[in-house]
Amino acid sequence: MKEKIKTQVLVIGSGAGGAITAAKLAEAGWQVLIVEEGGNVIKNSIPTHSPEAMRLWYRNNGLSPILGNVKIAFVEGRCVGGGTEINSAFWHRSMPQAIERWRENYAIRDLTIAGLNALYPEIEKELNVSFCNSEQAPRSSELLRQGLEALNWEFMEVPRAQNISGPGSPFVPGAKRSMSLTYIPRALQAGAGLLTNCRVVSIRHDGKKVNRVLAVARDDDGGRRKIEIEAENVFVCGGAIQTPALLRHSGIKRNVGNSLRIHPMIKVAALFDEQLDSHLSALPVYQVTHFWPDITIGGSVFTPGFLAMNLSENWEINQPQMKEWHKMALYYVACCGTGKGIVRAFPFSGEAVGIYNLSKADQIHLSRGLAYIGEVLFAAGAKKIFPSLRHPARIDSLGECRQYMQRNIPFADMSLSSVHVFSSCPMGENLQLCAADSFGRIHGFDNLYIGDASLIPDSPGVNPQGTVMALALRNANHFIANRKK
């Protein structure tokens, strides 16, 4: 027998978009239920990038590949707080040129940079968006800065959603201002319900109206129970992979899952003469803005395990470098992806699969980016660098890097990763392209909405969390102002 629940608003997913949507609607007096596929794991006792965290917070233990003409490793949160629990908490406001492009190409009504900038302070105050203390900058970041200053390249220190009080790294367990510490508690305090370890498997609809949602909950003893949720309004906030998969599995397919975009990334390990102990430091703090928005360069979180993964494509050659891991740091070069992908759901299970084919522009930008990151790392004193490529296994000189100013890395040699996915259900009034209207309501439905990175029309060129939360707040405010309880 199915357990039956009724609510005014159902929010599927508790990440950046879902959490702020739930909090704002609950505080406005709506009866809200949040359904989260993952567990409500206490974050303040587990290091973010530990094996235990990978098991408890990540989908598929952190292994969710995106298929296509290049192998791309993708990580996705699956817990209360979603991706905000596993990311680096970088905070960027939307780029003005992106907002103008989206408004023009996708016919988004009432979307302006001034309007979004008016919303950001509310979110930034809640998340304590701030800069690291100077004494907390890791040595790997200082070296990057020295290389950038020697080249006279533009860069910035990136603010983060973080607690900065107390000594040591601001990213000790529990210090990050993720959704489980901010908007989810606000939603619960305002009366929202939270159902965890519960996967929504189908959205049932009749014409323009969703009438019920079917879910399966996992009990502590391993048992399963079916749940039927009747909701007056449904917000799907599962992320740019899970949201279109659920919608398509539910028969909702118009412009859904046909326009996936990502920020593809090459990781680079660098060996220096000095002992860095990068695993003990705060996360890197600088990003190169000299080549924005096409190419971004910065530091990456370091653990010996992450270093081994970076070296794994050429393990027989690179394994000896693990003996010098105390002298190594990880960096990345990413590009503003211009290729397109799709998201589909397997017929019976509904499990999601993402496919993305790198474009020629992506190939060029990543190749030039490899030349640029080699330039700055060798200027910073690196002895050799190890890109996450099948070939070359290692780069020993600046001259070797500079060859990628003229020649492109073959697709067959690439082994990429990405933590930024979006655009699988674009918003706007252009019915040829958009799955949802200018405020997130799915075209053709009266009570079905999207509230996550799926709505971002194309690549934002910066970390998308700020854009996701600003759009979610904007759309929640519009819903409150225009719908009766």
Residues 6+ apart with CB under 8 A from 45: 173, 174
8 A C-beta contact, residue 131 and residue 104? no
In this structure, the number of other CB atoms found within 10 A of the CB of residue 426 comes to 26
8 A C-beta contact, residue 213 and residue 203? yes
Q: Is 395 helix (H, G, I), strand (E, B) or coil?
A: strand
Which residue's structure tokens are 């860069």? 155
Q: Is 391 a catalytic site residue?
A: no
Backbone angles phi, psi at 171, to 5 degrees: -115, 30
Core vs surface per residue 441-472: b (16+ CB within 10 A) or e: bbbebebbbbbbbbbbbbbbbbbbbbbbbbbb
Distance of CA 150 to the CA centre of its chain: 32
Core vs surface per residue 4-36: b (16+ CB within 10 A) or e: ebebbbbbbbbbbbbbbbbbbbbbbebbbbbbb
> Which residue in 86, 69, 77, 62 sits closest to 415, CA to CA?
69
Backbone angles phi, psi at 132, to 5 degrees: -70, 150
For the chain, the straight-line distance linking the first and the last C-alpha, in angstroms and rounded, comes to 30
> Which residue in 295, 294, 214, 289 sits closest to 251, CA to CA?
214
**How far is the CA of 219 from the CAs of 19, 22, 215, 225, 430, in angstroms?**
23, 24, 13, 8, 43
Helix H or strand E encompassing 217: strand 209-218
Distance of CA 175 to the CA centre of its chain: 19
Core vs surface per residue 336-356: b (16+ CB within 10 A) or e: bbbbbbbbbbeeeebebebbb
> Among 249, 279, 420, 478, which one carries the catalytic annotation?
420
Please give the positions annotated as active site.
420
